[in-house]
Every structure is written in structure tokens, then in C-alpha cells.
Structure 1
Amino acid sequence: MSYAPKITRGAVAAMFFMAGLCFSSWASRIATIQQKLALSDAGLGAVLFALPVGLMLSLPLSGWTVTKIGSRRLLAAALVMYGLMLITLGMVTEIYQLVICLVGFGLASNAVNIAVNTQAVATESLYSKPIMASFHGVWSLAGFIGAGIGTFMIGKNILPAPHFIFIAIVTVISVVVCWRYLHNDRKPVHTGSAFAIPDKSLITLGLIAFCSMICEGAMFDWSVIYFKKIVLAEKGWMAAGYTAFMCTMALGRFVADKFAARFGLKRTLQVSGTLSAIGLLIAVIFPALPTAIMGFMLVGAGVSSVVPMVYSAAGKSTTMSPGASIAAVSTISFIGFLIGPPVIGFLSGAFTLRIAFVFIALMGSCVVILSTRARI
């Protein structure tokens, strides 16, 4: 049974929201769990690497599964698993338990990512205009709300376990309520192979996202450090750049669809890369508090639309199924998210942190170059 596009869109948006809420709930309690397990900063960094390990292990499996059983079934199962793994993270008492649970959390996270974006591509096909970025905007909005709930829980001295149980219950209820309104693609009509080698257009899309994700990953991990060491911000302002980046990234996703509908995918990606490069160069050349904040705001606006636009384009591939196409592009782009922060650390050690941020600006320029040459 098919429902009105707005109802299906609302159901898919709710799934994006729950995905963002689960991830941000975990992120908001990392410090609590670190203290509970008496982990040093270096030890925590090593343990947290288990999360991307789980993500990478999930990429080929999720691409195959979404093609075989459909994105609705995978999304429901993966979101429930996401909530359950979140609970286990709140109940760990040993470091090895945390590592194992983080691998499982990463597996569920990427399965949700591929399935929910496949649902979003199907929903977008019901409209005559782009709507993909708005879904990612909902994910970002959930991130803010999840962080707020986490702050409240910490303030009330509520342990991570009951906090995560509450989030998991809400997640399961949302899946049950939204299930009937999601796209039923158990028998995909697309004949593309789940394991076909990505064609040139998909590889190009992956590389565009790869460059943008280097920028995004570096901003997540290095923005506070940049404001501390280069901008010399006071303690209360050290997170100002990160906050500015997150705000414009979230807001940008709610306006990117209209921009793409008016100016096209290629122009949207070109503008996105340009904003990222200019914003980073402003922060490097003028490392004062107001100008650095302004620069980080431009970076947030720049990276906001790249991944949703690339996923949208990948989902329309004629050589692979939507789920497999998104998985292929996600694999390439996620490598950028992984290597970005350590590359910045290496360049900072070899040269300076400002030079390292020039490298990130170069990645923004590569988004422009690749988008200009791509046939999209």
C-alpha cells in the first residue's frame, strides 16, 4: 500500500532523526564513560578507533544486504540494533567490553546510514525537486537535541545506562510507528549487482565526498584545538568555532535543496567547495576570534550539502542498485573522514597547525575541481 509522499517523507525523516539521536546520545556521554573506565586521553583515542573499524566492516555487508532484503527491512533491523548496542555501551565495565560494543555500534551505524539514505533516494523520486539535504538537516537537528538531553542527564547525575535505555525505547517505538509508511522495497526492481565495480561517475562522486569529508572530519577533531593554539581563544570561547561550524552545517542542509533545485547539482557542489576553501583560508590568514568564527561558519555551510547531494546522485545510478551505489560512494568518502584528522596531526607536527589547515582548504578546492569536471 502506498501513502501520500508527505507521509512517507515524514516517516523517513523520523528515521534520520532517530539515527542522529542515537549517535549524539553516545557522543554526549563519552567523557562519563571515560571517567568510569579510568581511561587516559590516549587510551580513549585508541579505544574509539573501534567505532570506525565497525563502520568499515559494515560497508560491503550493508551494500549486499540492502540489495537482497530491501532498505526497509535493513533499516528497521539496524535501528533496533543501534539502540540495543547503545544500551550495551552504557553498561560496560571493562575496556575490552567497550571495544567490542563500539565495533557493534559502528556496524549498526553504517547499516542505518546506507538503508536510510536508500529510503531517502526513493522518497526523493516522489518529488519534482531535491529533498535529500533536508533529511540530513534533520539528522543534524537530532544531534543538537541529543547533546541537550545528554547535558540534562549529566546535570541530574543520571548514569549512561538508563539514559541509553530511554533513547533505545524511543527508537524502537519510532521504528514500529513508522514501519508501515516506509518504502517497501523487499524486491528491488533494479537489476544492478550489489558487488559491481563502481563506474567512473560513482568514483568521481565518491572522490568529491572524500575531499569534503576530510574537511568535515578535521573540523570535528581539530576545531577546538585550532581555537586554543592558533586563535588563542579564552577557555569559554575555545568551542566557538566548532559550534559555529555545526550551526551553519545544520542550517545549510535545510536550504541546500532549494539551491540545488534552482542552480543544479554541479553548481551546488562548486559553491560548497568554494565556501569551504574560502572559510578555511580566512581562519588561517586572519586567526583572530571574530574572523576565525566567520571562517568556520563558511566551512560549515560548505560541507553541509556535499554528502547529501552526492548520495542523491549516487542513488540514481543506472549501473548499480541504489543501496549498492550509496554503499560504494560511502566507502570512498568515509576513508576521507577517517584519514583527515590523523593527516592534520601529521602535518601539524611536521609544519604547523595553520599549514595543516591550508591542506584542508586545498581539499575544498578539489571539491570544486572534481565537480566542474564531473558529468553530473
Structure 2
Amino acid sequence: MEQALTIRQIRLWRMAIYFYFGLSGFAMASWVAQTPNIRDSLGVSTAQMGWIIFGLSTGSIIGLLCASRLIACFGGRVIMLVGLGLSSTGLITVGIGSSWFPHVLIVFGGLALFGFGIGICDVSMNVEGTAIEQTVKKPILTSFHAVYSLGTFFGAMIGSVVNNLHVPIIIHLLVIAFTVFILIIYFFRFIPGGSGQVKNEDTSGTTAKESLSVWKEQRTFLLGVIVLGMAFAEGSAGDWLPLVIVDGYDKTAAAGSLMFSLFVATMTISRAVGDILLAKFGRVAILRISAISAALGLMIVIFSGNYYAAAVGIVLWGFGSAYGFPIGLSAAGDNPHGVAARVGAVTTVGYMAFLVGPPILGAIAESVGLLRSLIFVLIGVTVAGLLAQAAKPITSDVNKIEENTLEQ
């Protein structure tokens, strides 16, 4: 993006990134909606299904680790297109491996491809989002994540309808993949090239060195810790909140689902108004308020013992979990030099919290119970709140690689 963009071009760019975020969530929810049917189609146990789903985690982590180098070489918009294109292909492969030629290895491979595509797309979407923030000079990354949540909601709703109508797995996933592919091709033309791209003669060597060096920067490291704590709060609710209500409060599965819906709704609404709040109060204040809200909500859920009080706690937990991830990514993108490496590093930490944190929480719960295991989540958000000052915006006169390393 070496030439100035017109207002119309910026609006179209912003709209396109909204759609990429929404389609990413839409694709993810569509796969999740079919997990019970895929398990039954393959004839595997829930434990075996867990190992199959590990293909998704493996692909996602590999994608996240490769993303910054790919973006530096080809730019954010190309990697977004490739990422969601690969995810669409992965969905089709999963459909084939659970319908026409049922086999666990085909589904595992499809999920690995799907996860890899989602991983590289996620980093590139956030690189584009931070680039738009730098262009319009105001916080907007939270609204992109709100659209991701909205896409997830629509994908889940359509998946519910499809399941009620007993639509075959392959038909559902084929239609979703085709829809995603057509839309990403259409909106690709509105995205300017160059975001996150490193135009050096020795791009690969510079990028590899840069990808490792960002972890030595004190600010990037602290942002990673903030995102780790806040993403852990979000991910633990996504995986365990229904069971927390069922086991901890002796309620039905329907009641657990209702409380999870309340959490998701709170997060979506919070992110929808997040840009306004950030513009008014700033990152540091919002992060601190978020951490206090999440910590207070978690304490109510853990210690109140009352279902209705827990509902209030879940609202506070949802509000507190809404901003940590997008604010951390936005702060990582303050410095335009090496933006792909920093955003990629912080995104990787966040997704590690999503993918690895909840299973660890489940292992802890075996000994102390799900409710008490949430104390570890409480510790994470508390630490994130204490480190909130690290998200303070970098002024334009210090837009260079930080010299302040952990060794100093």
C-alpha cells in the first residue's frame, strides 16, 4: 500500500475484512455443528473423536507458526484468500471422509488442512485489521472480532437447522465450503496489497530472524502474557461452561447451554460496542476494567453456589473476556515494521490458550472439580490486568523495533 487510498477504497477494504472475519467464524461453527454426526458416522467413541479433533489443533498451530513468514513474503490479502480456500477444501475433505468414504484418517487429514487454513488466515486477518486501524487512526479491531462471533452464531444456527432436517453431512459441508469460496474470491478485489509484506532482497532470512527476535522484546512478551490470560478465560468458557453449570450447580444440559448462550451473547454485544469504548477510554483502562470484570464474574461463578447469581457472574465473565485478544493484537500492530511477526506471535499465544488451556483445565478438574479448576483462569485474568500498561499505544516517533529486551 504505497499510494494513498481514497475514502471509498478504505470503506471497501474494511467491508471485505469484515466478511473474511465473519466467514472464518461461519466455517468453524459449521464444522462444530456436525461433530456429533461425524462421530456417529465413523463409529468412534468420544475419546477417539478427541484424537481426531486433534488434527484441527495440529493444523492450526502449524498454520499459526508459519503465518508470519508467509505474510511477509506474499502479503496479508493473499494469505487470507489461500487460508480460507484451504479451509474450504478441508471442510469438503471432512465431508467425504465421513460420508462417501468413511475413514478416520481422511477426516483427520481434512481437519488438519482446515486448521492450517484457519491458522494462517487468522493471523493475516488481524494484520489487515491493524493496518486499517493505522490508516483510519482509530480503534476498530474489536468490531472485526465481533463480526467473527456473529459469523459463528449464524454458522451454529444454520447447523442446528441442518441437523433438525437431517441433511447429509457432505451436502451441508459442500454448500458451506462453496459459499465461503465464492465470497472470499469476490471480496478479494477490495483488499489492497502489501499489508505485512516485507520487500527485501533477503525476505526469508529476515523474516525468520524477525519471527524469533520479537519474543525478546519486553512489550511483545508482556502482550503475549496478557492475551494468554484473557484468551484462557474465553476458551475455558467455550469448552467447559455448560458442564460447569451441569456439574457445579446440578442443572440440566439445557440450562448449561442457556448459560453458554448468555456468555456468547455478552461477548458479541461487548465487542460490537468495543471500538466506541476504546476510543473514549483507551486500551489500558479497558483492559483493566475487563480483567476486573472477568475476575469478579469468575469469583461469583466459583463461590456463589446460586444459579441466578452465577448468571450475573457469567455476564461479567463474558464482558471481561471480550477485549483481551483484540486489544492485544491491536497493540502488537502499533509498530508497522515487522507487524506480521508481532501479530503472528501474539496470535499464536492466544490460540495456544484456546487449544491447549481448556484440556489442561479438564485434567485439573479431575482432581479438584470443574468449579475449583476455574481458580486457575481467575489467576490468569488477574495477571493480565496487572500487566495492562503494556498495551499503551506506541507513538509515531518510536515506530521502530524495540531495543528493550528481556536480557536488559
| TM-score of the two chains, using structure 2 as the length reference | 0.88
Q: Deviations over 1:323-372 (max 9, x none)?
A: 22111111222222233212322322222322211221111111111114
Amino acid at match of 1:324: A
Partner of residue 51 from structure 2, selected from 43, 46, 52: 46
How many aligned residue pairs are there? 375
Alignment match of 2:367 (pick from 342, 350, 357): 350
- Alpha-carbon distance in 2 for matches of 1:346, 1:177: 44
Matched residue, 2:96: 91
Structure 2 contact 76–197 (Cα < 8 Å) conserved: no
Q: Report what 1:56 is aligned to.
A: 61
* Residue 121 of structure 2, aligned match among 112, 116, 139: 112
Deviations 1:233-285, CA, capped at 9 Å, x for gaps: 13421212211111111111111111111111111111111111111101111
The reply to whether residue 30 of structure 1 matches residue 39 of structure 2 is no
CA contact (8 A) 2:327 2:391 kept: no
Residue 32 of structure 1 deviates from its aligned partner by: 0.8
Q: 2:76 aligns with which of 62, 68, 71?
A: 71
> Where in structure 2 are the equivalents of 1:163-174 lying within 5 Å?
163-174=172-183
- Report if the CA contact (8 A) 1:214-1:339 is conserved: no
Partner of residue 340 from structure 2, selected from 323, 341, 355? 323
SS of match in other structure, 1:130: coil
Question: Partners of 2:195 and 2:275 in 1: how far apart?
Answer: 28
Corresponding residue to 1:212 among 230, 235, 239: 230
Shift of 1:89: 1.0
* TM-fit CA distance, 1:374: 5.8
Equivalent in the alignment of 1:224: 242
Matched, 1:202 2:207: no
Q: Percent identity?
A: 25
Give the CA deviation at 1:186. Answer: 7.1
Partner of 2:385 in structure 1?
Answer: 368
User: Could you say which residue in structure 2 is the equivalent of 1:18?
Assistant: 23
Aligned residue identity for 2:70: T
Q: Distance in 2 between matches of 1:338 and 1:146?
A: 20
Secondary structure of 1:181's aligned partner: coil
Deviation, structure 1 residue 311: 0.8
Q: 1:142 to 1:186 in 2, by over 3 A?
A: closer
TM-aligned CA distance change 1:287 to 1:271, over 3 Å: same
Aligned to 2:276: 258
Query: What CA distance in whole angstroms lies between the structure 1 residues aligned with 2:165 and 2:381?
Result: 42
Q: Residue 356 of structure 2 is aligned with which of 339, 342, 352? A: 339
* Structure 2 CA distance for partners of 1:324 and 1:7, relative to 1, 3 Å: same
Post-superposition offset of 1:190: 7.5
Structure 2 distance, partners of 1:104, 1:305, is: 29
1:143 corresponds, among 152, 162, 172, to: 152
Is the 2:72–2:198 contact (alpha carbons within 8 Å) kept by the matching residues of 1? Answer: no
Cross-structure match for 2:316: 298
Q: Name the CA distance, whole Å, in 2 between partners of 1:60 and 1:239.
A: 33
Report the TM-score, using the length of structure 1 for normalisation.
Answer: 0.95
Unaligned stretches of 5+ in structure 2? 394-408
Aligned partner letter, 1:351: V
Give the counterpart letter for 1:86 in structure 2.
Answer: L
Counterparts of 1:372 and 1:310 in 2: how far apart (Å)? 11
- Is 1:313 equivalent to 2:313 in the alignment? no
CA distance in 1, matches of 2:195, 2:307: 52
**Structure 1 partner of 2:404:** none
1:127 aligns with 2:136: yes
The 3-state SS of whatever aligns with 1:125 is: helix
Partner secondary structure for residue 287 of structure 1: coil
Structure 1: distance between partners of 2:107 and 2:260? 27
CA distance in 2, matches of 1:348, 1:325: 33
For 1:295 and 1:42, how far apart are their aligned partners in 2? Answer: 31
Structure 2 counterpart of 1:8, one-letter code: W
2:299 pairs with 271, 281, 300, which one? 281
Shift in alpha-carbon separation, 1:187–1:66, aligned structure 2, 3 A: closer
Give, in angstroms, the shift of residue 373 of structure 1: 5.8
Q: What root-mean-square deviation, in Å, do the aligned CA atoms of Structure 1 and Structure 2 show?
A: 1.8
1:11: Cα distance to partner?
1.0
Report the alpha carbon displacement of residue 228 of structure 1 after superposing the two structures with TM. Answer: 0.7
Pair 242,61 (structure 1): closer, same or farther in 2 beyond 3 Å: same
Give the match's secondary structure for 1:114: helix
Task: Give me the whole-angstrom Cα distance separating, in 2, the residues matched to 1:128 and 1:315.
Answer: 13
State the one-letter code of the partner of 2:375: V
Equivalence for 2:87:
82
Against the structure 1 CA distance between its residues 368 and 38, is the aligned structure 2 distance closer, same or farther, given a 3 Å change threshold?
same
Residues in 2 aligned to 1:303 and 1:190: alpha-carbon distance in whole angstroms: 37
Match of 1:103 in 2: 112
Shift of 1:153: 1.1
Q: Is the 8 A contact 2:333 2:339 kept in 1?
A: yes
Change over 3 Å in CA distance of 1:28–1:76 after alignment to 2: same
